[in-house]
Each structure stands twice: as structure tokens, then as C-alpha cells.
Amino acid sequence: MPGKRARPELERTRKLEAMRVRGVRGGVITPHRSMVGLPWTAFRLLTTLLLSLGGLLLLYVSLPGLGRFWQEIFERTIHFLGLPVPLGDQVWTVPGGLEFTLPVLAVVTPLPGTREIWIAVLVSVLVFALSFLLPVRFTPLRYFLRLLAIVEGSAIAFFAFSTESFPYRLQDHVFILLSAGLVVMALVPLVLGLTLHVFDLAFWKKLLLTLAILAHLAVFIPLQVLVHIWLVLHGSAVLMPVLFLVFGLLLDVLVFVAFYGWALSWQGELERRDLSPPAHLAMPARRQPA
Amino acid sequence: MLPFLALLGLTLLWLLLPLLPAFRELVRPTDVAPLKVVDRSSGYVAYFARNFRQYLDRQMAALPGEAQVGDYVGKLPDGTQFIRVRKSSQGLTHEVEPGTQNRLVVVDGAMTLQDGETFLMEVYARAPMIGGAGSVYRAIYADRELGLGERSTVLRWAHAGGTMGVGSHSVLRGRITSDQAVVLGANVVFERIGAPRISVGTEHGIPPGDGFAAHPFALPEHAHPIGDHYRVEGDLEIPAGARVTSSLVVAGSLTIGPGAVVEGSVKAHRDVELADAARVRGSVVARRRVMVGDSAWIGGPVIAEERIRLGQRSVVGGPELPATVSAPLIELAAGATVYGQISAPLGARTF
Amino acid sequence: MRLALLIPLYAIVAVLIIYTVRHYLFTLNRLFGRHRQPYVDIGTAAWPRVAVFVPCHNEERVIAQMLDALLACDYPERQLVIIPINDRSSDGTSRILADYAGRFPVRVAPFHRKGGKPGKAAALKDAMEASDAAIHLVFDADYLPGRGLIKQLVGPFFDPEVGAVMGRVVPMNVNKTLLTRLLDLERTGGYQVDQQARMNLGLIPQYGGTVGGVRRTALIHMGGWRDDTLAEDTDITFRLILAGWEVVYQNRSECYEEVPENWPSRIRQIKRWARGHNQALARYWWPLLKRPAHLRRWAVVDGLLLLGVFAVGPLLLLGWVLAVALYYMGVQLSVGVYVILAVAMYSTLGNFAAFFEVAAGARLDGSRGRIRLLPFLIVGFLVSLVSVSWATLVQMATFWRKDQLWDKTERHREAGAMIPKETG
């Protein structure tokens, strides 16, 4: 039969080839880490493009649904919080003619009076002072608290001298964060394509990760904005700068980096295949000495 | 206030969700050990062979007295199956399948093995041993002389205390070492060999260079000194019979004509070509290829980032001047001799 | 007024984008490109004479282990001399060195400095004449070289163009604190990816001052070590490159080091690096820009970016300040600007390796688990950013001062502490 003689030879060749790179217990002898790279495959290039463009497309077609979802969250949460904030929506059109809505507030932005400014001063000074009381091993936290105090200090200085000229209303703050959040979500599949999909993770893992990040941000962004709304309505606009600059986009990027770090700690396909025991290899085992 | 705290709590929990793996790794680390820095030099070719010898010595020393002499089939103290033969390879029985030996083999007496054998475990030869043609070895350690028949295959390493001869058309994967010499047949493919002397066929000593009356060569005007060498932009050709007394770095390709001599080392950002009987006392380095003509001599390491070709009777190094030849691909013509080490991760071939 | 703030902000964002693209290309190259380590297989040779310099200032906790490691190396004994530079030590360092010199009179030859300028650069400069060996290797006192490391580091010097060699630094005390784990990630990104990619692409790998060395004739050609710099490694790198020598990075040549375990140590270390690096930037940006004929265009570009690596921190801080100012002025910046500024905060400041570069390096190392710590990079970056910016400001404000204060890195290892066992 054609191929009949070739099969035992092929089997033998495979065994011998495996013996070249496998240790006595079956584990693969890998090259030193200073020499290894990552083999590139056309499949991975294809899936990278597919996941990136697919993720973008998915987000695009989901925009109307996402808008309605955010509107729903806003309505329910504002009602839950008991906030006297009339809520509307505004229609936006993206290239391609697709329309979606974003929640819009109709509320007067509470500008800080003397009382609010002094409270902000007191809290900022306390936070700044606290940063010096923390032990040295909390140095990053010390620096972060000082950063908060300094940014809030800049807001206090601005409002102390020029309250009326503050250029943002609460509606603007909300809109900027929501639209910036959408841009971050749009960047997710692209940045993943450039920096994560190039690795040898399984396709389904990459797909799930893309969806997980988008789903997480889809929930986090409106919650984040709602927290801001409550804080500004109760603490005045003197909180808007620090909320925007420190607790806005930086947190969205933090979410992405956290997912990214977690995903790249997963086992790759090359490693998974190499670690599986060689079922066909009839290797006499060598026991460890007692 | 309470509803807000609930919202804040939910938002924080949701934010912290993707950070859980990070916090978990921080608090209960799974990967916090320093990278294991391998102590030995990657250039120590006989590493695995020496390790095996030390391992086997410990195991054999722990065998009971009756197991230390004569033909024997049994287990080492660590459970490894082994077989020892003294008089003849006919004693290599207990095979899993015909022609395949899956035990560690100890050859106690001078012996010629049968053709076509496959040894799945190491072979240790205490006396001179000649392997059969077409045999496959996982690894071999020979205390004395070792001859590998034609079309032999070594998968991991082989070492001989005496001279190792390798039959034509053999494939030597991994590390091949000898304490004396390795003599390669034609069309032998290998990756790495280390020995005081490595030759293709008959060994050749350092070609005599005094027969040529080398005349001083004036470097081009644009050559400029940098420390202990001269740099030349573009290509450089050293004519036949010329002598250069310094080291050279050439931005293009370097050609050293027949019988020319360079007293230092040379490096080219493209190719280096040594014509027949050219000599370089130091090392030869090329970003692409090094082509060495017949009966040429290089006193130091030869390094290329693509390919090296050693011509007939060319010599690298000397009996008191060990050197390394290293490139992804290497070709050695008949009579080429290297005193030291040849390293070709993508493969070296004799022809 | 808006334009006066917008233009510099966008210039800063452009710089950040350039660095991000640079590190991305390095990552791609390291993952998929052709790998260059041409000298690593030189195992047999007529080994040249080597002097190993070990600058010591109050190193009683670590110097004995360092000397033991050097004495155990497989480099031919007759070709190796170890020269600990006893730089005005006031602890037990002198006693330990005297003991080793007594037991190994030929192999260990301490050089004692009683006075002179403080600092490693000055110490090396003074001690240079102590040996006429062809190769001068330098190790910090807390390093632990393996048996084969000296041969590996000497191998590239058979190439006549090579003026300096650098190996890979591997933190040993990773498990001590969050800081040490973050610094381990920083080293991984910097060496496994950044340095190796620059080697692969024929750009400018940096000699890092330890786990490496310099050819003596190159050193003499340069006029020796400069003692008016806080970063003698960066300084010599660019002097060599500009003069036509090559600097080689060898990823395989690994050596254990001790990274700072507490924040004050780290802050002092990074301030010193920043000041030294900025000095090199001021000295060599123009000679580099003039592009000597032997340097490729891309090598010049990369060299300038390398020189600017510690200047990016203060620029980033300035970028944030400008962004805040523009916020108050009601200027709606593009989301991309905020994203770039935010992403840059998840880098490692020592080499400005981006988070994906760090992750790629750790994956290549086979250390997947520690990649989960990536979000904490912002923690270390914030501290480093402020420290480097402050150091740069002070440096600019006191640029006329000739004397440089050398802050020695604190040692944490107990004398005789166990080191990770070798495998392989």
C-alpha cells in the first residue's frame, strides 16, 4: 500500500527528533531566554486584524444600544440617588450615518461659595499634611496625596480669584467624560491589536478579553460619571478639576492596563503544546536518586 | 448619603475587579523568584558530557560488587535501566524492538558495534569503540578513541577522551567534543564541536608563511586611526603579497589578496574574503560572510553573522593558539583545520 | 496665550509619541526580528589579559561574596587580576580587601584611594593606571558574576571595533518589596527588550557601568574616565560611539545585582542617574547631531532619544501642567492628548520602557506571573517622575557648579547571605 512503509519511518523520525529536544522526563529543553523570540504566523496576523477591526465594528454597531444602556443607567441611578437632575438625551451622528444618544443633564452647575472653598482648603491642607505623616514605605501614596492636594489647590486658587470665569458646566464635564470614554473604548481593539494579539494566546482568549474590556468600560464609565455628578452637586464645581484630571481618563487607562497585564500572564499556545506530555514517546524514565 | 455610598461602593468594586489579579499577585505572589542565572559559560561545549560522566561515576560507584564487572543487565541506583557488555556487541540484548536499545549502554572492552543500531539512552565506552554504520545515538561518552561509522547520527552530544573519527554523511546534532582531536569525513553535518584540533580529513598545521616576501601596504588616504586600529570607509582590497601591520575596520567589504599578511585583527561591516595563502594574525569578524581561501591562516577567532567558508587546507588557530569559528552557517572544505571550537547554530557542513 | 501653551504641549505629546513608537518598534523587533549575539559562542580562544575593577566605598556587607565569585570564575588565572578600588572606606572594607590580597597576592591587587574626588567615576579614573591589561571590566561591589561571565564579556573584544561591552543585569532581591518587584520589571523591559533590540538594529546599546567593560586602548584613546560626571557609563558610551568605536550588548551575559529595597534609596539612585544622564545630554547632543561620517542616520536618531530618556520625565510633568492650565482656560484638548499623557504614566522611568515592552520582556523571560503587576507601574513611575523632575530642576538651577555630589546606593544584603543557586 502506498505510504505503508513510510509511516513507521516517519514515526521513528518524529521520535528521534523529539528526543533531541526533550529531557529524560519528557520536558522540552528550551533555548535560553536571551535567545528566544516569538515565531510569527500568518494565522496570528489574520486574527490580529480580525479582532482589531471586528472589535471596532462591534463597538460601532453597538453605539445605539450602548447609548440607550447608558441612558437607562443614568435614569435609574439618578432616581436611586434622589437627585433633582432633569435628564435628557442628545443625538450624535458618527461617520457612516449611524446615530446614537448620550445622556444630557439640565442642571445648574453649583459654583463654590466661600464656605465650599474653605472646606476645600481645609481638606486639601489635611491631605497634604497627612502625606508627611505616612511612613516612608508608603512613599507612592504620599506623592499621590500631595498630587491630589496640589491639583485641588489649583482649583481653589482659580475659584478664589475667578469663580464666574470657570469654563465648564457640569453638563460639559459629563459630556467630555462620556465621549472621551467612547474614544478610549474605540482605542481598545486597536491597541490590543498592536500590543497583545501579536502574542500566541489562543484566539478565544483574545476574543473574550476584547469583549471583557469593552463590557467593563461600558459599565464603569457611566458609574464613574454618576459618582462625579453626585460629588459636584454636593461639593460644588471646585471638585471638577481634580475629578476630571485624576479620576477621569487615568482610571479608564488603569482598567485597560490591568486587563492587559492579567491577559499576558496567561499561558501561550506554544508553551501549552510544549508542556503536554509526549504520548507517543516510549522513553524509559530515569528516577531521581533517593 | 447611603444611596451614594452604595453607588460609590459598586463603582469601586467594579473598578477593582480587573485589578484583582494584580492585587493577588502582590499579596500572594506566584512569580517572585529571581531569574535563574546560569553559571556556566555558554561556550563550554563539553558541559553535558562532563555532567553525564560525573553522574555515571556516582551511580556506578554505588552498584553492588557483582554488578561492577562482566556483562550485566540491571538498574542503576536511581532506577535507570542499563546494560554492560565486555566482549562483543552480541551481548547487547534485551532490546525493545530489533535494532533499538532503550537501556543505558556501558561498553567495557574495545568493541565494534553493529550497523544500524539505535541507542535511545546514552552509551558509555570505557575502551576504544567503533560505532556501526547508520547508527543513531542519543549521546556517547568515550573514555578513549571513538569512531562513528558512516551515516551515523548523534542527537544530543558525544565526547571522546581520545581522537574521535566521524564517518562521511553523518549528522551530529548538539555538542561534539574530544580531549584530543575530531576528524570529520565528507558531508558531515554538525552544530558544535570543541577539541584541541578539528579537521576535515587529514589535519593541516599552520601553513608556512615565510616563503612570501610581503611588502608594506599603504592604507588609503581616507583611512583614519582610531585607538589601536585604522578605519576605512567603503571597501578595501589588500593586494597580493602585501603586509599590513595594524588592525583594520572596514565599513564595506575587505579582500585580502593571495599571500598578503595582516598583523592585527580585521573586521568588515559586510564581507571578509581571504584569498589563497592569506594570513591574519588576529581575529576576523564580518557582519555578513567570511570566505577563507585555500591554505589561508587566521590566528584568532573567526566570527560572521551569516556564513563562514573555510577553504582547503585552511587553518584557524594553532596548537598553542586556540580559537573559535562561529557563524549561523559554516562550510569546511577538505583539509580545513580549526584548533579549538566550531559553532554553527543553523548547521555546519564538510565537503 | 492659548497658543503659547498649546504649542509646547503638542510638542511634548509629539515627543511622547516618538518614544512610544520607538519602544513599540523595539518590542516588535525583539519578539520577531533577527537576533544578534554574534560573540556569545566564543568559548575557546587565546584569552587576553583582563583587569576587573570593583569600586568599593564601605562595602563590607557585600564585597567578600563578590570577590569569591570573581575568584571562582573559569577565566585563565594568569590572565586575570581583580582590582578592588578601596575608595576611602571607613568600615571593614579595607580589612576584608587586605585579607583577600594576602591570600591571593597575584590575583587580587587592591587599589587604595585616600582622597580625591568622591564617586565611582573618579575612582575608576585614578585606578585605571593600576593595570595595563587589554580589557578593563567593571563590576559594582554588590554584583555576583557567574563562573563563565568573564569569558562571555571578553568575547566581543576580539572584534577590533568593539570599545565596550554590556551584559544583562538581573535583580536578585526581587521578592523583598513592591519596589524591588517593580524595578525587576523595569530591568526586564530595559535589557531583555530595549538593549537587545538596539543591538539587533545596529543602533546604540548603552554601556551601563557594571557587568561590562571597556577596551583599554579605547579608554586611552578617549582620554580615560571622566571624573566630572555622575554617569560615567553614559558618558563613555557616547564618547566611544562618536570616536568610531562600537558598544556591544550581550543579552546572554547575565549577572545578579541588588536593586534598592526602599523608596529613599531608589529616589537617590534615580536622581543621580538623571543628573548624570542630563550631563551627557548637554555634552553630546550637538556632537551627535553633527553626525560623524561613520554613524548611520538611525543610530544618531536613537542616540539622541537615548540621551533624552531622563529629560522625558520632566517634559511629561510639564505636559501635565500645561494640560491643567489649558483646562482652566477652557481649551478642549483632544482625547488623544489625555490618553498619551495617561499611558505614559504606566512606563518605567529608568529607560522609559512602555508597559507593553515590559510585558514582552517578562514573557520572553518565561516570567508570566509578574506581568500581573503592570498596573502598579504607575506607582513607581509617579515617585520617579517627581524625583527626576526635581533633580533636573535643581541641576538646571545650579548648572555652574563643577563639583558633583555622589549618592552611594545603599546595600541591603547581609554579609554571607545565600544567593540563588545556579541551574543549567
* Interface test mutation site (partner A, options B12, B156, B189, max chain A beta carbons within 10 A): B156
Q: Does A259 touch chain B (CB under 8 A)?
A: yes
Q: Which residues of chain B does A83 touch, with a Cβ-Cβ cutoff of 8 Å?
A: none
Distance CA A159, CA C309 (A): 37
Query: Residue C307's closest CA among C278, C334, C332, C286?
Result: C278
Q: Are residues B159 and B82 in the same domain?
A: yes
Taking CB atoms and an 8 Å limit, are B42 and A216 in contact across chains?
A: no
Q: Does A187 touch chain C (CB under 8 A)?
A: yes
Q: Are residues B56 and B196 in the same domain?
A: yes
CA of A21: which chain B residue's CA is closest?
Answer: B156
Residues forming a β-bridge with B136: B118, B153
Asked which of B165, B200, B235 is the last residue of a domain, the reply is: B200
Q: Are residues A262 and A155 in the same domain?
A: no
Whether C422 shows a pLDDT value over 70: the answer reads: no
Query: Residue C350's closest CA among C307, C405, C309, C395?
Result: C309
Is the residue at B317 inside a domain? yes
- pLDDT value, residue C424: 38
- pLDDT value, residue C249: 97
Give, in degrees to the nearest 5, the angle at Cα A277 between A274 and A278.
Answer: 90
* Interface test mutation site (partner B, options A16, A21, A257, max chain B beta carbons within 10 A): A16
Local structure of C230: helix, strand or coil: coil
Q: Are residues A133 and A263 in the same domain?
A: no
Domain that holds residue C151: 50-267
Is the residue at C77 inside a domain? yes
A265-279, B201-215, C192-206: which has the highest mean pLDDT? Answer: C192-206
pLDDT tens by residue, A60-96: 999 999 999 999 999 999 999 998 888 888 888 888 8
How many domains would you assign to chain C?
A: 2
Q: Are residues B263 and B164 in the same domain?
A: no
Q: Name the average pLDDT for chain B.
A: 90
Is the residue at A239 inside a domain? yes
- pLDDT value, residue C333: 82
Residue B134 φ/ψ region, left for φ over 0, alpha for ψ in the -120 to 50 degree band, beta for the rest: left
DSSP chain A: -TTTTHHHHHHHHHHHHHHHHB-TTS-B-PPPTTT------HHHHHHHHHHHHHHHHHHHHHHHHHHHHHHHHHHHHHHHHT----EEEEEEEETTTEEEEEEEE--------HHHHHHHHHHHHHHHHHHHHS-GGGHHHHHHHHHHHHHHHHHHHHHHHHGGG----HHHHHHHHHHHHHHHHHHHHHHHHHHTTTS---HHHHHHHHHHHHHHHHHHHHHHHHHHHHHHHHH-GGGHHHHHHTTTHHHHHHHHHHHHHHHTTSPPHHHHHHHS--TT--PPP-PPP-
Whether A167 shows a pLDDT value over 60: the answer reads: yes
Q: Are residues C27 and C54 in the same domain?
A: no
Is the residue at C272 inside a domain? no
Q: Are residues C166 and C76 in the same domain?
A: yes
Contact call for residues C154 and C135 (beta carbons, < 8 A): yes
Q: Are residues B237 and B335 in the same domain?
A: yes
Asked which of B168, B200, B232 is the last residue of a domain, the reply is: B200
Q: Are residues C244 and C376 in the same domain?
A: no
- pLDDT value, residue A161: 85
Domain that holds residue B155: 47-200
- pLDDT value, residue A277: 37
Higher pLDDT, residue C259 or A165: C259
Confidence of residue A54 (pLDDT cuts 50, 70, 90): very high
Q: Are residues B272 and B221 in the same domain?
A: yes
Is the residue at B168 inside a domain? yes
Q: Are residues A194 and A95 in the same domain?
A: yes
Q: Are residues B196 and B75 in the same domain?
A: yes
How many domains would you assign to chain A?
A: 2
Q: What's the rounded mean pLDDT across residues A260-277? A: 81
Q: Are residues A100 and A62 in the same domain?
A: yes
How many domains would you assign to chain B?
A: 2
Distance CA C337, CA C331 (A): 12
Distance CA B13, CA B339 (A): 68
Q: Are residues C91 and C202 in the same domain?
A: yes
- pLDDT value, residue A210: 96
Q: What's the rounded mean pLDDT across residues A144-149? A: 94
Whether A209 shows a pLDDT value over 60: the answer reads: yes
Q: Are residues A132 and A263 in the same domain?
A: no
Is the residue at C40 inside a domain? no
CA of A234: which chain B residue's CA is closest?
Answer: B1
- pLDDT value, residue B90: 67
Q: Does B228 touch chain C (CB under 8 A)?
A: yes
Q: Are residues C72 and C209 in the same domain?
A: yes
CA of A259: which chain B residue's CA is closest?
Answer: B18
Whether B289 shows a pLDDT value over 90: the answer reads: yes
Domain that holds residue A257: 39-110+169-273
Element (H, E) at B158: strand B153-160
pLDDT tens by residue, A177-195: 999 999 999 999 999 999 9
Q: Are residues B237 and B324 in the same domain?
A: yes
Taking CB atoms and an 8 Å limit, are C196 and A34 in contact across chains?
A: yes
Q: What's the rounded mean pLDDT across residues A103-115? A: 88
- pLDDT value, residue B1: 87
pLDDT tens by residue, C237-270: 999 999 999 999 999 999 999 999 999 999 999 9
Q: Are residues B177 and B219 in the same domain?
A: no
Is the residue at C388 inside a domain? yes
- pLDDT value, residue C85: 95
Q: Are residues A142 and A258 in the same domain?
A: no
Whether A152 shows a pLDDT value over 70: the answer reads: yes
Q: Which residues of chain A does B78 touch, with a Cβ-Cβ cutoff of 8 Å?
A: 286-290
Query: Residue A185's closest CA among A197, A174, A177, A196?
Result: A177
Q: Which CATH number fits the domain that encloses residue C61?
A: 3.90.550.10
Q: Does A123 touch chain C (CB under 8 A)?
A: no
Is the residue at B186 inside a domain? yes
B-C Cβ pairs (cutoff 8 Å, strict): 186
Is the residue at A6 inside a domain? no
Whether C169 shows a pLDDT value over 90: the answer reads: yes
Taking CB atoms and an 8 Å limit, are A35 and C252 in contact across chains?
A: yes
Q: Name the average pLDDT for chain C.
A: 90
Q: What's the rounded mean pLDDT across residues C222-250? A: 92
Is the residue at B208 inside a domain? no
Using CB atoms within 10 A of its CB, is residue A207 exposed (0-12), middle (13-18) or buried (19+)?
A: middle
Q: Are residues A106 and A238 in the same domain?
A: yes
Q: Are residues C9 and C75 in the same domain?
A: no
Q: Are residues B123 and B230 in the same domain?
A: no
Q: ipTM of the assembly? A: 0.92
Is the residue at B171 inside a domain? yes
- pLDDT value, residue A290: 28
Q: What's the rounded mean pLDDT across residues B157-181? A: 95
Is the residue at B41 inside a domain? no
pLDDT tens by residue, B71-102: 888 888 888 888 888 876 666 665 666 778 88
Return residues 229-288 of A near C (CB < 8 Å): 241, 244-245, 248-250, 252-254, 257-258, 260-262, 264-268
Whether A279 shows a pLDDT value over 60: the answer reads: no
Q: Are residues C130 and C194 in the same domain?
A: yes
Higher pLDDT, residue B247 or C4: B247
Q: Which residues of chain B does C217 touch, with a Cβ-Cβ cutoff of 8 Å?
A: 227-228
Is the residue at C224 inside a domain? yes
Q: Are residues A104 and A247 in the same domain?
A: yes
Q: Are residues C196 and C120 in the same domain?
A: yes
Among the ranges given (A47-56, B139-148, B297-306, C221-230), the one the predictor scored with the smallest mean pLDDT: C221-230
CA of A265: which chain C residue's CA is closest?
Answer: C368
Q: Are residues A159 and A249 in the same domain?
A: no
Is the residue at A197 inside a domain? yes
Is the residue at B253 inside a domain? yes
| Burial readout A4-26 (b: 16 or more C-beta within 10 A, e: otherwise) | eeeeeeeeeeebbebbebbeeee
Whether B210 shows a pLDDT value over 70: the answer reads: no
- pLDDT value, residue C408: 59
Contact call for residues B132 and B149 (beta carbons, < 8 A): yes
Q: Which of B8, B77, B174 sits opposite A289 (nearest CB)?
A: B77
- pLDDT value, residue C52: 97
What percent of chain A has a predicted confidence (pLDDT) above 70? 86
CA of C317: which chain A residue's CA is closest?
Answer: A147
- pLDDT value, residue B290: 98
Whether C404 shows a pLDDT value over 70: the answer reads: no
Q: Are residues C177 and C60 in the same domain?
A: yes
Is the residue at A18 inside a domain? no
User: Mind telling me how many Å the CA of B30 is from chain C's nearest CA?
Assistant: 6
Is the residue at C327 inside a domain? yes
Is the residue at A27 inside a domain? no
Is the residue at A179 inside a domain? yes
Whether B258 shows a pLDDT value over 90: the answer reads: yes
- pLDDT value, residue A282: 33
- Chains touching chain A at 3 or more Cβ pairs under 8 angstroms? B, C
Q: Are residues C218 and C143 in the same domain?
A: yes
Confidence of residue B61 (pLDDT cuts 50, 70, 90): confident
